[in-house]
């Protein structure tokens, strides 16, 4: 696969989980961890997708090690791990 992987900047194909470009444990820092690989996958759409994911799946039920993270909760609700 090496001849087909971009080097600078490092990017990835959609729906291909390249764990070398970053992962998240889906904990309290999931947004900052997810931004590392999210910008490489989704470019300028990353923040828009995070807002949609937060609205649709605020408890982050549908997740994997490179899923789109949710925004951290502020106020009354506590973020779940």
d(CA 17, CA 71): 21
User: Is 16 assigned a catalytic role?
Assistant: yes
CA distances from 6 to 2, 31, 46, 59, 80 (A): 9, 24, 19, 34, 35
Tokens 């764990």 label which residue?
A: 19
Q: Which of 16, 31, 37, 41 is catalytic?
A: 16
The total of other beta-carbon atoms located within 10 Å of residue 9's CB is 8
Q: Catalogue the active-site residues.
A: 16
């Amino acid at each position: 696969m090496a001849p087909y992987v971009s080097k600078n900047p490092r990017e990835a194909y959609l729906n291909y989980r390249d764990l070398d470009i970053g992962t998240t444990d889906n904990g309290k820092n999931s947004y900052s961890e997810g931004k590392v690989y999210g910008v490489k996958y989704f470019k300028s759409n990353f923040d828009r997708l995070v807002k949609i994911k937060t609205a649709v799946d605020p408890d982050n039920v549908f997740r994997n090690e490179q899923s789109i993270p949710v925004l951290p909760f502020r106020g009354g609700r506590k973020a779940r791990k």
